[in-house]
């Protein structure tokens, strides 16, 4: 795989100082009775979802030629729509969903999504794959009642991937805060005052961009390594009990491929999560079950630099 050129940490911090903020409309959901707030389903999740094989991978760092045709042109991911008000599912408050495994041939990329059960909204999600650093996670974001990812397979062999979504009912309010910026700079979505950050993600209009994610207490930021418009998404809510943000840090030496896993406190459940990293290529980011937590994998493609990365989980009941 061609080496990706990354902005320095200092450059990213400078970009972050000029973040452009925006948001979709709030979707208020009915409250759930206190007696059902801790009812959790932790099975394999719904087996509904979808997948599209959209085109060939462009592995060059130079701008790719677009020659047209369904196997060569990649459309940018759509802007997630404003979620609609939904009645909570009386059977459970938190649901762990997945769709896959899905085969992605060598040299191709795909998008896929996992749906929440009726009456539930996605608060987090991600993807895992069977490749040893050959697959790149390019975008991951919520669309109200489902979670969508886009991955590329730059390796020489076929791989499989699975998309995950964490779904909730009974949140008092649900909000998708987004921020966008052009030319691969930094962007952020920030939760309104009084709302809790439950999860998030990002996407770019450039099909070859690799996103760097940074995650705070109330905001989710994304920056791209290539030109194009980058959008960060923070998913926010109210009515979460025993809420906490958990983080585990690891160091990636030059050329290494490594994971990081963070676990929720006992008695709480994973709501969403992701990776907080500079200068590394993310390959996997997904919730862990039955242990309630979050796991990420990333590759440090630099030959002379060590980077730090973090796995972050948002937990509650």
pLDDT, tens digit, 9 for 90 and up, residues 273-293: 999 887 789 999 999 988 999
DSSP string, the chain: -PPPP---HHHHHHHHTT---EE---EE-PPPPGGGTT-EE-SS----EEEEEEEE----SSPPP---STTT--PPPPPPPPPPP-PPPTT-SEEEEEEEEEEE-TTEEEEEEEEPPTT-EEEEEEEEESSSS-EEEEEEEE-SSEEEEEEEE-SSS-EEEEEEEEEES--SEEEEEEEEESTT-EEEEEPPTT-EEEEEEEEESSTT--EEEEE-SSEEEEEESSSS-EEEEEEEES--SS-EEEEEEEEE-TT-EEEEEEEPPTT-EEEEEEEEESS-EEEEEEEETTTTEEEEEEE---SS--EEEEEEEEEE-
Q: Per residue in 144-180, pLDDT tens?
A: 989 999 999 999 999 999 999 999 988 888 999 999 9
Asked if residues 298 and 281 have their Cβ atoms less than 8 Å apart, the reply is yes
Least confident of 30-39, 203-212, 296-305: 30-39
Query: Is the pLDDT assigned to residue 47 strictly greater than 50?
Result: no
Question: What's the average model confidence in pLDDT over 82-109?
Answer: 72
Least confident of 81-85, 150-154, 260-264, 290-294: 81-85
What is the C-alpha separation between 47 and 301, in angstroms, rounded? 35
Query: Is the pLDDT assigned to residue 4 strictly greater than 60?
Result: no
Domain residue extents for the chain: 9-57+80-316
Query: Is the pLDDT assigned to residue 93 strictly greater than 70?
Result: yes
- Of residues 17 and 291, more confidently modeled: 291
Question: What's the average model confidence in pLDDT over 118-131?
Answer: 93
pLDDT for the residue 26: 34
pLDDT band, very low/low/confident/very high, at 131 (cuts 50, 70, 90): very high
290 cis-preceded (ω within 30 degrees of 0): yes
Query: Is the pLDDT assigned to residue 82 strictly greater than 80?
Result: no
Query: Is the pLDDT assigned to residue 70 strictly greater than 60?
Result: no
pLDDT band, very low/low/confident/very high, at 51 (cuts 50, 70, 90): low
Q: What is the average pLDDT value for the chain, to the nearest integer? A: 76
What is the C-alpha separation between 25 and 23, in angstroms, rounded? 7
For domain 9-57+80-316, the CATH superfamily is Proprotein convertase subtilisin/kexin type 9 (2.60.120.690)
Asked if residues 187 and 16 have their Cβ atoms less than 8 Å apart, the reply is no
- Of residues 137 and 24, more confidently modeled: 137
Question: What's the average model confidence in pLDDT over 236-251?
Answer: 94
What is the C-alpha separation between 282 and 287, in angstroms, rounded? 15
- Partnered with residue 121 across adjacent β-strands are 168
Triad 34, 35, 36: Cα angle to 5°:
90
Q: Is the pTM of this model over 0.85?
A: no
What is the C-alpha separation between 231 and 142, in angstroms, rounded? 12
């Amino acid at each position: 795989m061609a080496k990706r050129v990354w902005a320095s940490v200092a450059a990213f911090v400078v970009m972050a100082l000029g973040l452009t903020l925006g948001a979709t409309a709030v979707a208020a959901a009915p409250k759930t009775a206190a007696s059902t707030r801790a009812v959790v389903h932790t099975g394999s999740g719904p087996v509904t979802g979808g997948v599209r094989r959209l085109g060939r991978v462009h592995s060059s760092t130079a701008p790719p030629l677009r020659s047209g045709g369904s196997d060569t042109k990649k459309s940018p991911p759509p802007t997630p729509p404003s979620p609609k008000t939904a009645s909570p599912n009386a059977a459970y408050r938190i649901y762990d969903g997945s769709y896959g495994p899905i085969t992605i041939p060598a040299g191709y990329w795909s998008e896929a999504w996992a749906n929440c059960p009726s009456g539930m909204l996605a608060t987090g999600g991600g993807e895992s794959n069977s490749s040893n650093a050959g697959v790149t996670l390019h975008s991951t974001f919520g669309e109200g009642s489902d979670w969508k990812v886009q991955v590329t397979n730059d390796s020489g062999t076929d791989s499989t991937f699975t998309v995950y979504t964490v779904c909730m009912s009974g949140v008092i309010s649900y909000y998708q805060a987004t921020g966008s910026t052009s030319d691969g700079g930094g962007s952020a979505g920030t939760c309104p005052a009084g709302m809790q950050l439950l999860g998030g993600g990002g996407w770019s209009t450039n099909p070859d961009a690799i996103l760097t994610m940074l995650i705070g207490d109330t905001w989710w930021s994304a920056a791209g390594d290539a030109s194009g418009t980058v959008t960060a998404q923070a998913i926010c809510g109210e009515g979460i009990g025993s809420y906490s943000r958990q983080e585990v840090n690891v160091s990636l030496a030059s050329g290494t491929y490594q994971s990081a896993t963070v676990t929720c406190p006992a008695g709480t459940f994973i709501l969403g999560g992701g990776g907080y990293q500079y200068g590394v290529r993310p390959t996997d980011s997904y919730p862990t079950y039955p242990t309630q937590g979050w796991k990420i994998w990333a590759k440090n493609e630099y030959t002379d630099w060590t980077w730090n990365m973090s796995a972050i989980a948002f937990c509650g009941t």
